[in-house]
Amino acid sequence: MQIENLFVSGHPLIQHKLAILRNKNTEPKKFRELIREISILLAYEATADLGLAPISVETPMGIAACRQLTETIGLVPVLRAGLGMVEGIWEMMPGAEVWHIGLFRDERTLRPVQYYNKLPVAPTVQVCLILDPMLATGGTAVATVDILKKWGAQRVKYVGIIGAPEGICRLHEAHPDVPIHLAAVDEHLNDIGYIVPGLGDAGDRQFGTG
């Protein structure tokens, strides 16, 4: 799939872990471990263009010319499946803020409805990484970017694990400036909005509720 701003990782470690993640026999404990590891690797790729500023550091042997991050980062897990993506990434960037967003789909209108959002009035971060493993219809992704842009976030990136072409196109059409980082693009959505072949329900498989 050729879309500007779509980055599908071909990294061997990610692909190997994704194969185990997809397996229907993978137990929740292992599933959570893999979500965490794949998320770290994807976030590593997604943050390759963060801003840096020079800084001098005194080592035991002298002065080293170093660089440090200039942008404040917000991790934005979408409840509930995005939760498992947070901890590992947060360990890599402990200064990041974590802002949870809860959305559900209204069965009548089929539109996403916000039920949890504690964002303060003014933006406190410059770069937001939306964390949600399955980019299915794209409705939740578009709504989350809408919320973050309205809040005033200067840069928003989407980090997921598997995307369906339908959801990728929808997110890209609504927000072409938002880079989409995934481990795989699958075939299609089924008639109840699940990604095929996908991995099933990412929330249920993490929390053992399937």
- CA triple 134-139-145, angle to 5 deg: 90
Cβ contact 38:161 at 8 Å: yes
Q: Is the peptide bond before 111 cis (omega within 30 degrees of 0)?
A: no
- Is residue 71 a contact residue for ligand URA (CB under 6 A)? no
* Identity of the amino acid at 140: T
- Taking the complex as a whole, the smallest distance from the CB of residue 114 to ligand URA amounts, in Å, to 18
Q: Among 85, 2, 4, 72, which residue's Cα sits nearest to residue 42?
A: 85
- Is residue 7 a contact residue for ligand URA (CB under 6 A)? no
Q: Which residues are catalytic?
A: 105, 109, 201, 204
Q: Select from 85-93, 103-111, 148-156, 199-207 the region that touches ligand URA (CB under 6 A).
A: 199-207
Tokens of 180: 């989409």
User: How far is residue 60's CA from residue 164's CA, in Å, rounded to a whole number?
Assistant: 52
Which of 129, 136, 168, 180 touches ligand URA by CB under 6 A? Answer: 136
Q: Select from 32-40, 101-109, 148-156, 190-198 the region that touches ligand URA (CB under 6 A).
A: 190-198
- Is residue 123 a contact residue for ligand URA (CB under 6 A)? no
Which of 3, 169, 201, 207 touches ligand URA by CB under 6 A? Answer: 201
- Is residue 194 a contact residue for ligand URA (CB under 6 A)? yes
Please count the residues of the chain.
210
Q: How many CB atoms lie within 10 A of CB 146?
A: 15
Which residues of this protein are in contact with ligand URA, per CB under 6 A? 81, 134, 136, 193-195, 198, 201-203
